[in-house]
Amino acid sequence: MSEITRRSLLSGAAATAALLATAPVARAGSGIAARVKRVQLTREDHRVIVIGSGFGGGVAALRLAEAGVPVLLLERGMRWPTGPNAQTFPHATAPDKRILWHRSSPELFGRPVAFEKYTGLVEAVPGENMTALCAAGLGGGSLVYQGMSLQPTEAVFNTHFPDGLDWSALNSVYYPRVARMLGLAVAPDELINTPNYTAARIFADHVRKAGLPLSKIPMPIDWNFALAELRGDMASSYTNGDGAMGVNNGGKHTIDVTYIAAAEATGRVTVETLHEVTDIERAADGRWVVRVNRTDTAGTVLENKILTTNALVLAAGSLNTSRLLVRAAAKGQIPDLPDDLGRGWGTNADRIYVWSAPAEEFGVAQGGPVVYGSLNWDDPDGAHTVIQASIPPLSMDAHSTMLVGYGVSNGCGEFRYDAATDAAKLYWPADGDSFIQDNHIGPAVQRIAGPSSVLFDTNLAFPSTWHPLGGASMGTVCDLDGRVLGQPGLYVVDGALMPGNTAACNPSMTIAALAERALDRLVATDVGEQI
């Protein structure tokens, strides 16, 4: 397999990263003299401020609004509206500036990137031994995630999460509530039996032959959109694997069109996009101060804002929530934060493989995003999941497709403040995921692929994760409802609250379910007090 062909096969994160890695360096604005402009300063006061609009932020905004609380929701990225035949999102085989956050690493996976500055969808945050990726845009990670929506088993959840979360309530109330909000559904057989979904059927056959469990994966998708594509009613997006960086046709129930749309409909939620929070601090009177840059789509600062509030909800994702808090602690902006702040960080044991099988005809077009997975959860300590994901559309059958694994890792990373850069930096042990990969995920993937196949582990080429978790974990930094210990009025309800993993599942369902649980309790106890 040629190097160019191999790069073209990496779907989702790997496809985008590999294609970006082939681009030459561009220096936007070189030769133009820098100009210092006076930027307007605005001061505002709000009842509640929520930073971030992904799964945790969307839940918080809606449930507080339903309780009669006015909310300001801040999002550093843009709105990305979609609909049939839209061209909202970039194509994985032809990436452009929409793919990258303007302050992302200038070298993505070791190679320079060449796009002009833009408030794009993904920021690559390099750390020691790990590059973590986080989304930007109204809806957060729901815009670019494949959509796997899995609820862990009780045994695995209770093994890896703190005591006291009440599995029975999560199982009967909160996971089902999220499933209803996201409109979860598995792919219909009518779709799976079409030529475009040959790769999914081959994966299912290999899983059965390997003696491993096989399941259809619940997805936040109206599969009628995919069927409409096959009828020719709209351009292909689902059925040719072209949704790695967002689905252009709509029909994907992302947070912006579910939770946030419902929150805005209450009339109590104000959404401000292109508002990037730079600092948070506690004022002398105990209130919270949030410093914000309002920018244009190139990242140019148009306005500075100083916002004050009694209640601050952090939902900017594991990376950005952790970075804000660790920096605030180091600079004395929030005294007396818990000692474990920044610790307990994990990758969810992410792994992405290219599965090449010369004897298999996976098809020129591989429908997606995801149909089948193998949920190997009998051993709570080694629980892991393997799913098949489509590759971007090619002009030929490359006899290859994608396998993605995740699980529970023993590794533990942390954020530490770096005075030289005035920022919190991520540190990850080089062998942090080795036990789960070497003993569980890797062997399962090899069993599924079979002896005549070739597997390319993309994480060996560029260690990375799309599922950063932890940094302000429950039980050590926060209580089980997301209250930061010793800091009245400060809350965390996103991936930073997780204990470095989400019990062998991708994180979306568990982050949202725990946020739903927390908001029920916060509305009952904190509204009228701290909120």
Torsion of CA 439, 124, 148, 274, to 10 degrees: 160
Tokens read off for 149: 């929506």
pLDDT score recorded for residue 299: 96
pLDDT at 18 over 90: no
Q: Is residue 2 part of a domain?
A: no
Q: Which residue has the higher pLDDT, 193 or 17?
A: 193
Query: For residues 250 and 420, is the Cβ–Cβ distance under 8 A?
Result: no
Q: Which residue has the higher pLDDT, 8 or 105?
A: 105
Q: Which residue has the higher pLDDT, 268 or 394?
A: 268
% pLDDT > 90, the chain: 86
pLDDT at 364 over 80: yes
pLDDT score recorded for residue 106: 62
Peptide bond preceding 218 in cis form (omega within 30 of 0)? no
pLDDT at 27 over 50: no
Query: For residues 159 and 382, is the Cβ–Cβ distance under 8 A?
Result: no
Categorize the per-residue pLDDT at 11 as very low, low, confident or very high, splitting at 50, 70 and 90. Answer: very low
pLDDT score recorded for residue 177: 98
What mean pLDDT, rounded, does the chain reach? 92
pLDDT at 407 over 90: yes
223-255 pLDDT per residue, tens: 999 999 999 999 999 999 999 899 999 999 999
Query: For residues 293 and 304, is the Cβ–Cβ distance under 8 A?
Result: yes
pLDDT score recorded for residue 326: 98
**131 vs 143: CA distance, rounded Å:** 20
pLDDT score recorded for residue 112: 66
- Scanning 310-377, the segments in alpha helix (DSSP H) are 317-330
Domain of 152 in residue numbering reads as 40-526
Number of compact structural domains in the chain: 1
Tokens read off for 383: 């629980």
Q: Is 530 exposed, middle or buried (0-12, 13-18, 19+ CB in 10 A)?
A: middle
449-491 pLDDT per residue, tens: 999 999 999 999 889 999 999 999 999 999 999 999 999 999 9
Q: Is residue 15 part of a domain?
A: no
Q: Is residue 20 part of a domain?
A: no
pLDDT score recorded for residue 5: 40
DSSP 153-185: PHHHHHHHS-TTS-HHHIIIIIHHHHHHHHT-B
- Scanning 196-331, the segments in alpha helix (DSSP H) are 198-209, 224-231, 259-265, 317-330
pLDDT score recorded for residue 392: 87
CA-based angle 346:352:354, to the nearest 5? Answer: 170
Tell me how far CA of residue 93 lies from CA of 145, 353, 369, 436, in angstroms. Answer: 17, 18, 16, 32
Q: Is residue 35 part of a domain?
A: no
143-185 pLDDT per residue, tens: 999 999 999 999 999 999 999 999 999 999 999 999 999 999 9
Q: What is the CATH number for 511? A: 3.50.50.60
pLDDT at 142 over 80: yes
Decide: helix, strand or coil at residue 404.
strand
CA-based angle 387:321:389, to the nearest 5? Answer: 15
Pick the range with the lowest mean pLDDT from 34-43, 60-69, 183-192, 271-280.
34-43
Q: Is residue 8 part of a domain?
A: no
**105 vs 216: CA distance, rounded Å:** 36
296-353 pLDDT per residue, tens: 999 999 999 999 999 999 999 999 999 999 999 999 999 999 999 999 999 999 999 9
Q: Is residue 124 part of a domain?
A: yes
pLDDT score recorded for residue 217: 98
Categorize the per-residue pLDDT at 36 as very low, low, confident or very high, splitting at 50, 70 and 90. Answer: low
Categorize the per-residue pLDDT at 208 as very low, low, confident or very high, splitting at 50, 70 and 90. Answer: very high
Tell me how far CA of residue 189 lies from CA of 8, 201, 238, 361, in angstroms. Answer: 29, 10, 15, 20
According to DSSP, residue 390 is labeled P
Average the pLDDT over 359-374 and give the result: 95
pLDDT score recorded for residue 483: 98
Query: For residues 313 and 49, is the Cβ–Cβ distance under 8 A?
Result: yes
Q: Is residue 163 part of a domain?
A: yes
Pick the range with the lowest mean pLDDT from 259-268, 270-279, 386-395, 440-449.
386-395
pLDDT score recorded for residue 37: 66
> Tokens 């009025």 identify what position?
489
% pLDDT > 70, the chain: 92
